Structure 1
Amino acid sequence: MKTIFFKSSPSPTRMTPPASPLHVTFSESLMEENIESAEFTITKWDSLSDNNDTFCNTASLFSDNNRVEAKHYLSSIRGLQKAMQYLVSHQASSEKLVRAQTLMQTAMKRLEKEFYRILKSNRFYLDPESFSTHSSSGLSAPRSSFSDFEEFETENESRDDIDSLPEAQRVSLAAMEILSAISEVMIKAGYAKECIKVYKTIRKSFVDETLYSLGVDRTLNLQKIQKMNWEVLEIKIKKWLHAVKTAVKTLFPGERILSDQVFSIAPAMGDYCFTEISKEGALTLFEFPENVAKCKKTPEKMFRFLDLYEAVSNHWPEIESMFSSESTSTVRSNAINSLIKLGDAVRTMLTSFETAIQKDTSKTTVPGGGIHPLTRYVMNYLSFLADYSEVLSDIVADWPLTIPSPLPDPFFGSPDNEESISSPVSVRLAWLILLMLCKLDGKAAMYKDVSLSYLFLANNLQYVVGKVRQSNLKILLGDEWVTKQELKVKQYASNYVRMGWSKVLMALPENPTAEIPVDIVKDHFRKFNSGFEEAYTKQTSWVVPDPGLRDDIKISLARRIVPIYKELYETYGGMYLRKEMWVESLVRYTPDDLGNYWSVLLNGSTSSSHGGRSR
């Protein structure tokens, strides 16, 4: 590009009209004046450079104190360019051209050093966050020539707008203005390669260091990841989730803005610089989730895999926009491959989770008919999964559920009902719950007491309903699903009352107010005492963890037993049996006693005392 000024001689077949002597004299005079002015300015600043000739120790031309000098310096270079163009056309072999070329080389070397110094010294002021924030606020550095160092004022910006910005943003805008002015002059002079080299060196090191500080380690390959303990890898996943958000929302957009502004005169160069600066770091960033997806897959890892998938998926529009060029297609491919691999991994883990439910063969029963560990595990797992419903929708959309037979209406509703479960995610979660409940039916059969089996089923289904109500599962499964399961809970509880207190219920007369022979009355009381004490003693260790369900059961017991027993007690438990010697042992409980006993029932107490009331 440095030969841009040295054009070939005009073709012999093309006639060039001779310039008038007056025009030639004026042009030569202007050319001489431009060279002399440039020589004075360039030589003056070249003499201020330190002997070691390093970039960082160069006297600053573009400091605030030298604003006028800097403007004049760039103006002199433009004049020198015009003089060289004239000499190439009219005096290609002139010593003046050699002299001008030498001056231009000196000036370019100077600008290269200044370009480096500004990038280096403002390394952390030229931070992507400042650019992103500044861009989103509607303010932007001018995209036209910065060579005159205008104050940051355009049609949409005022001095007050700039002054109101934080210091970091004001400094970054000023630095961008100067960098853009230098790059414009260097590019026009044919020194784009030197300018780009300096820019890439400084900004790439910044991007690489920033990513490293965020925990993005380029040495962390697939082999290392596969050998890591899950606890260690999980920490790295958490760091990556923060890193990708910062990189995609701040770091890469900031570098894109900076490259576009600094090379506003040559957008293709800005795009090239951004690619060279960010491509390697972006590839490292998006290789990580793809490598994690290749690790051993167990259901416990599901949620971190979903976090990774969600992060890439949510940021895909920005990724696709920033890395839209052909040269950055590998970055887009990496991100897409991450989504594909993570999606495959999630489907594998869902299958493993389903298989684990189906293969559960634990034979132990839960004491007191409480909540089974399988119920807790599955419902906690599914309630967490429901938080990822949008991500799961993408993953299972084209993954049909294969089941041996149509699912029952209580789990999926009627096909004609608008509220019936239809989304792929809802269907799959409902299916997993159904598998678990089928397993619980088998575990309920292990209890020797049928009433305890029903209590176990009521407890566990109530736990399922509670988890659904407290999580996003309610949105996925719907109100109709919840209502149907609640009816089943009531049915199980009713069966428990009927079976668990059958002897007590059978001991009561159909009509306690009717005239009943004394012997039969005595028999009612004896059977009631025996049945009540047997049921109470057996059930003192039984438990209903849910307070609402426990209260409902006790209310149901009271409604079924107390009114009839109270009529029997008030009609025959008093004076009618008073003359019998064994009345104290025959009528052991008042109606109020029943409530007192039931108040401590189903709390999981191991006490079995059931003494009668004191007289």
Structure 2
Amino acid sequence: MGDVMEDLSSITPTNECEEHVFIAARHMLKALGASKNVSNDLRRLLADVDIHLSRRTNITETVLDGTREVEERLKLAQEKVMRWESNRSMIWASGHEEASEYLQAVYEIQRLMESLRSSPSSSSGKQKELLDRAHSVLQMAMERLELELLHILAQNKQSFEPEYVSFRSCEEDFVSDVSIVSTEDESIGDTSRRDSSGTESENHIVDLVHPDIISYIKSIANVMFASHYDQEFCHAFTNFWKDALDEYFFTLGIDKLSIEGLLKMEWNCLNCKINKWIRAVKFIIRVYLAGEKRLFDQVLGEFGSVYSTCFVEASKGSMLCMLNFGEAMAIGTRRPEKLFKLLDMYEVLADLLQDVDSLFSSEIGSFIRTEFHELLMKLGDTVRATFMEFGHEVALYPSTNPCNRGVVHPLTKYVMNYINVIVEYASSLNLLLGGVQDGAELVPFDQNISLDNFCPLAHHLRSLMSYLEHNLDKKSRLYKDSSLKHIFMMNNLYYMVQKVRVSKLVTLVGGEWIREYTAKFQNHATNYERGTWKPVLSLLMDDENKTRKSILKERYRSFNISFEEVYKNQTGWFIPDTELRKDLQISISQKVIHAYRTFIGKNSSVIDEKHIKYTADELENFLFDLFEGSPMRLHSIHKR
């Protein structure tokens, strides 16, 4: 009998048919037990069997009742889900109540599926059927939630743009846009035009979506993650923001071009794109991506590293696009006109270094950090090489014709304006030029000047101006008139001194340099006076021996001829600086008029008034016509 009971205890109904058999068996046992022909032993056995069957029947009835409840609950949840399958309206647009009810229906399906999976009779046909049905409804709900997510994001994405987007897209950058080989254009600007627009908007994080709907997005994320549809949520959420960033690039005027395409581009066009890139990279990293990372953290932060993985996935394409642009600039030709744009790019990347390290601090974002750091180094190398190339071009820039009228050479203007802009980047260049040889072998350098106390940039700027002076000296040899050579050098060295004196350069190169170059241009002024006026004034000098009247008259006539020749030539020469011109005119006048008056006074008995061609006052006035840049002749002025 024990064996029979053991066999019975191991029996559990596995389907609805078996459940009915157990119930029928109990009725048969009760009928047999009521018979008078059954022995007491058999009656006891039948009673025991009935007890066991009763237990099994109770279990069966409980299972049946539970299954019916699950089915009923699933039916209700399914109805709530299916109601929206035929409805074109969006759930979250219909109100908070509707959205909450929908989410509760999905959570109900999750609970029922978990209950069915954990049930002792989960392998029964009915429960398998219910589980499949629940899974099908859940999948429909997940697809709908993904659609709702994208709709919420699209409808609530914030529209914003940095202030500079509405500005002109491509500024004319005077100094940086002019090649050293085109310095005949004298309209080069004197000041840096480094962009500072949009700085205020670069210092705060923006909300990419309206803050009020973040809770909606999180509720969808929570239910999809709980339903094991986390990959589907992340894919939809990430792709939306990846596409949004691509659209934003277009708004900022950033084209996704290959490195090869950028290298083939004309400089004027490329220069315009660099301007846009510089502004965009600051805003994208410091404002847009910072806001994007905050949003990803708000929505996905509680799911561990998922949020950083999704953020990197959403932003890496655009980040690499921006870095590719920088890469193209770093490997392009190293022309001097590109230096300031390269420096702008270098400085903006250096400024954003900590931002990038913070944005992509996770292991999965390490490759972006590495690419960013490497690009910064490459741009630094390119800046250094371009700066050195500029020095070589200044030293070796050729000329075949002398500069008309002895004026300031366009190369001098270009180089000094260029250097004045360089000073704006002193901090970066001191870092990049530290320990770099300046190529002083190109020109003889004043060994008496100690450079130990100067920063690297100051040392290189002194060298640059030495290269320029050396080149100007070579150009001065193109003049056939040695006096005009000195006027040319005086004009150019004076221009250099003035550019240093009134700018930040003075703090770099020091007062010693100014004194040295002031002495140089003054020396050229002195040499000019000696070369031009010493031979002329020698005709008026006293002779220890008494000179015959005829010789005195001849010397006076020769003086007038020489003076007129100088006047004819040197009124056409030009000293652009009014103060310098006036100083030289006064210096000449003092010497010439003094010698003339002395000569006329001492020889008044020989050269009477009727033979005097010009009075001292007239000569003095004539001298103030010199270096005005308009050739004049005295014979058309003289009234006698």
- Which TM-score band applies after superposition, normalised by the shorter structure? 0.7 to 0.9
2:517 is aligned to: 485
Q: Which has the larger radius of gyration?
A: 2
Change (3 A) 1:30 1:471: farther
CA distance in 1 between counterparts of 2:404 and 2:580 reads 18
Shift of 1:548: 1.8
Q: SS at 1:315's partner residue?
A: helix
For the 8 Å contact 2:254–2:277, the answer to whether it is kept is yes
Q: How does 1:269-348 map to 2 (within 5 A)?
A: 269-348=306-385
- 1:588 pairs with 2:617: no
- Mean alpha-carbon deviation: is it higher for 494-503 or for 228-237? 228-237
Q: SS at 1:501's partner residue?
A: helix
CA distance in 1 between counterparts of 2:622 and 2:447 reads 40
2:249 is aligned to: 211
Shift of 1:435: 1.5
- 1:66 pairs with 2:98: no
CA distance in 1 between counterparts of 2:342 and 2:371 reads 16
Change (3 A) 1:467 1:36: farther
Amino acid at match of 2:286: K
Q: SS at 1:407's partner residue?
A: coil
**Aligned counterpart for 1:529 among listed residues 544, 549, 560:** 560
CA distance in 1 between counterparts of 2:162 and 2:413 reads 45
2:292 is aligned to: 255
- Mean alpha-carbon deviation: is it higher for 343-352 or for 253-262? 343-352
Shift of 1:606: 2.1
- 1:366 pairs with 2:403: yes
CA distance in 2 between counterparts of 1:72 and 1:530 reads 112
For the 8 Å contact 1:297–1:348, the answer to whether it is kept is yes
CA distance in 1 between counterparts of 2:352 and 2:597 reads 70
CA distance in 2 between counterparts of 1:461 and 1:32 reads 103
Shift of 1:260: 1.3
2:633 is aligned to: 608
- 1:49 pairs with 2:85: yes
Q: How does 1:467-482 map to 2 (within 5 A)?
A: 467-469=499-501, 471-482=503-514
For the 8 Å contact 2:149–2:217, the answer to whether it is kept is yes
**Aligned counterpart for 1:119 among listed residues 153, 162, 169:** 153
1:498 is aligned to: 530
Q: SS at 2:277's partner residue?
A: helix
Change (3 A) 1:612 1:231: closer
Aligned residues: 534
**Aligned counterpart for 1:181 among listed residues 211, 219, 226:** 219
Change (3 A) 1:35 1:187: farther
1:548 is aligned to: 579
For the 8 Å contact 1:493–1:553, the answer to whether it is kept is yes
Shift of 1:582: 5.4
Amino acid at match of 2:92: F
Amino acid at match of 1:424: P
For the 8 Å contact 2:430–2:456, the answer to whether it is kept is yes
For the 8 Å contact 1:256–1:274, the answer to whether it is kept is yes
For the 8 Å contact 2:407–2:574, the answer to whether it is kept is yes
For 1:573-615, what per-residue CA distance to the aligned partner results, in whole angstroms no more than 9, with x for missing partners? Answer: 8xx54xx685322x22223212321222101212233567546
2:36 is aligned to: none
Q: How does 1:32-47 map to 2 (within 5 A)?
A: 40=76, 43-47=79-83
CA distance in 2 between counterparts of 1:126 and 1:85 reads 43
Amino acid at match of 1:66: G
For the 8 Å contact 2:263–2:332, the answer to whether it is kept is yes
CA distance in 2 between counterparts of 1:31 and 1:62 reads 33
For the 8 Å contact 1:31–1:82, the answer to whether it is kept is no
Shift of 1:330: 2.6
Change (3 A) 1:607 1:564: closer
- 1:108 pairs with 2:142: yes
- Mean alpha-carbon deviation: is it higher for 437-446 or for 194-203? 437-446
Shift of 1:476: 3.1
Shift of 1:274: 0.7
Shift of 1:517: 8.8
For the 8 Å contact 2:203–2:286, the answer to whether it is kept is no
1:598 is aligned to: 623
Q: SS at 2:620's partner residue?
A: helix
Change (3 A) 1:262 1:39: farther
Q: SS at 2:85's partner residue?
A: coil
- Mean alpha-carbon deviation: is it higher for 440-449 or for 95-104? 95-104
- 1:442 pairs with 2:486: no
CA distance in 1 between counterparts of 2:489 and 2:201 reads 61
Q: SS at 1:264's partner residue?
A: helix
Q: Which ranges of structure 2 fall in alignment gaps of 5 or more residues? A: 1-64, 164-198
Amino acid at match of 1:69: E
- 1:462 pairs with 2:498: no
2:183 is aligned to: none
Change (3 A) 1:358 1:135: closer
For the 8 Å contact 1:354–1:432, the answer to whether it is kept is yes
CA distance in 2 between counterparts of 1:134 and 1:374 reads 40
For the 8 Å contact 1:503–1:527, the answer to whether it is kept is no
1:7 is aligned to: none
For the 8 Å contact 1:126–1:172, the answer to whether it is kept is no
Give the TM-score normalised by structure 2: 0.72
1:430 is aligned to: 462
Q: SS at 2:301's partner residue?
A: coil
CA distance in 2 between counterparts of 1:534 and 1:104 reads 106
Change (3 A) 1:597 1:42: farther
Q: SS at 1:365's partner residue?
A: coil
1:539 is aligned to: 570
Q: SS at 1:387's partner residue?
A: helix
**Aligned counterpart for 1:196 among listed residues 234, 239, 246:** 234
Q: SS at 1:442's partner residue?
A: helix
- Mean alpha-carbon deviation: is it higher for 361-370 or for 526-535? 526-535
For 1:109-139, what per-residue CA distance to the aligned partner results, in whole angstroms no more than 9, with x for missing partners? Answer: 44333222212333x4276989x9999779x
For the 8 Å contact 2:407–2:488, the answer to whether it is kept is yes
1:5 is aligned to: none
Change (3 A) 1:284 1:111: same
For 1:218-239, what per-residue CA distance to the aligned partner results, in whole angstroms no more than 9, with x for missing partners? Answer: 4x22332333333333333333
For the 8 Å contact 1:293–1:341, the answer to whether it is kept is yes
CA distance in 2 between counterparts of 1:128 and 1:544 reads 51
Change (3 A) 1:92 1:364: farther
- Mean alpha-carbon deviation: is it higher for 39-48 or for 205-214? 39-48
For 1:39-74, what per-residue CA distance to the aligned partner results, in whole angstroms no more than 9, with x for missing partners? Answer: 6466235313337xxxxx4x22223x5223333444
Shift of 1:280: 1.4
For 1:213-257, what per-residue CA distance to the aligned partner results, in whole angstroms no more than 9, with x for missing partners? Answer: 434444x22332333333333333333233323322333222212
RMSD value, Cα: 4.0
Q: Which ranges of structure 1 fall in alignment gaps of 5 or more residues? A: 1-28, 52-56, 141-168
For the 8 Å contact 1:35–1:79, the answer to whether it is kept is no
For the 8 Å contact 2:296–2:311, the answer to whether it is kept is yes
